[in-house]
Structure 1
């Protein structure tokens, strides 16, 4: 009933105000984003074309995209960066241990797993990748209930390093996910955009993080550190078959095993990336 009320309130949001403030309703997540004059929202069909055709990902990876945010001045057919929006109904994520996690140890483990998986990537026709480290260490903003982190990747076929910037806005029933892919030299710009997005995004009343009811609502089974360990690889995990339900299956086992899923899920190219045409399957 609460979910229905939240959706109804979203529909009643004054259309004139939506147009004036450029507010984009995300009904699947019971949320909305106020873009402001500097950002533009691309609907799911346009976002899908970019993710699949431009960034060369499997079509299945665009099935659950709610849309994409790009710079207002960008060419919509080939934006210099894009924030892919998804809704992850994983339940309530506890944030009380966010500042206690050992993110250096987490990165060390992820780097080791990425190195171990490069032979498999070659066999599958993908370019090997090196996870260089945190471009921006994980942090939690208790005001906006937002987790952000960024990783720097280098692909062995040359070219500039790739930035994968992650924004997770916590809600009552799950997490609104925004993954921003950009050249590494745009870190400062993307970091600013990520902060803007976290400040301009809100869940409707009844779906907010503070509305959590411990006696009635589902919980994710892991906290912020577990979210960081698995977050970037949600889309990739579904394509990896055995890792499709990795988060749900490993919830009782804690973060140590979740690290493996995250490491195996390092994106190739933009999300999966381009297959190396010189490597035969």
Structure 2
């Protein structure tokens, strides 16, 4: 691991200083930002866990981290997110996972939302076409706020994967393709691939960040992580007690882009979704564009121990 950390620091310095505009003559604010990003990634490498490993997720669950994946805990992960310009909800944020295999370019953001038991009975009646229509309408409405704040307007193109709920495992997966208005349809686009694991007191969100050219391959990593997450006894969805436990104010539909419109308000939910999507685009540009994820591929591997260092 010491060799890995040293490699992270060296490569990070080389990549950052080699970027256009980042030199001794660069603005001090930009230099400070990139220095913080470098320090944040190095701290992440120092504090993280390489798979295979069993990673505890707060006091709710355990994640079996596969070989080739790297988990960054809450404090260091939040520092990375903030260094990339993202707001982090400290109450919900759990950590980050990066793929370290040769062709990996993805990042997973883990959150736990403890808002009560999510009723899933609506899943049997939902219609993917209706959900997509609601998403498009919500994004169109929220564009008024984006334009007023100087952000580019966005539009929903269609499903990458329509909502799929496994009522036995209590797992939800969905993803849409979106773009800035006016952008070419065939341009590469950043993608949020959303997966959820429901529990007794709330749910885990594992949001994989990738792009439209790679998502067909990268989504297998999200499915593997989702399947490898196990709630502790007493915290499982089936452990719910109607007589004692709190039920969330919204149901499963609210997790599909915030389209449980009438109960919580269409505009508020749609806006929350669009802002989340915009953050993913920024992360994609910052992380995948600069090649920082490559730092986590430089960890020395020992085949006799399944890749651990």
What is the TM-score when the length of structure 2 is the normalising length? Answer: 0.66
**Structure 2 residue 163 is the aligned partner of structure 1 residue 148:** no
TM superposition shift of 1:156: 4.3
TM superposition shift of 1:21: 4.6
Question: Does the aligned pair in 1 maintain the 2:50–2:69 contact within 8 Å?
Answer: no
Structure 2 segments unaligned to the other structure (5+ residues): 1-48, 284-309
**Structure 2 residue 32 is the aligned partner of structure 1 residue 25:** no
Structure-to-structure mapping, 1:1-281, within 5 angstroms? 21-28=52-59, 30-54=60-84, 56-58=85-87, 60-61=88-89, 64-73=92-101, 80-156=105-181, 158=183, 160-230=188-258, 254=263, 257-265=264-272, 266=274, 267-271=276-280, 273=282
TM superposition shift of 1:110: 1.9
TM superposition shift of 1:116: 2.9
Cα deviation per residue 1:60-91 (whole Å; 9 max; x = unaligned)?
A: 4466421011103379xxx8321111110111
TM superposition shift of 1:105: 1.5
Question: Does the aligned pair in 1 maintain the 2:51–2:69 contact within 8 Å?
Answer: no
Question: Does the aligned pair in 2 maintain the 1:114–1:131 contact within 8 Å?
Answer: yes
| CA distance, structure 1, for counterparts of residue 52 and residue 168 of structure 2 | 22
| CA distance, structure 2, for counterparts of residue 19 and residue 82 of structure 1 | 14
The structure number with the bigger radius of gyration is 2
Question: Does the aligned pair in 1 maintain the 2:123–2:165 contact within 8 Å?
Answer: yes
What is the TM-score when the length of structure 1 is the normalising length? Answer: 0.72
Residue 74 to residue 130, structure 1, CA distance change in 2 (3 Å): farther
TM superposition shift of 1:95: 1.8
TM superposition shift of 1:112: 1.9
Q: Which residue of 1 aligns with 2:36?
A: none
Residue 222 to residue 118, structure 1, CA distance change in 2 (3 Å): closer
Residue 125 to residue 74, structure 1, CA distance change in 2 (3 Å): farther
Q: Secondary structure at the match of 2:249?
A: strand
Q: Secondary structure at the match of 2:250?
A: strand
Q: Please give the root-mean-square deviation of Cα atoms over the aligned residues, in Å.
A: 2.8
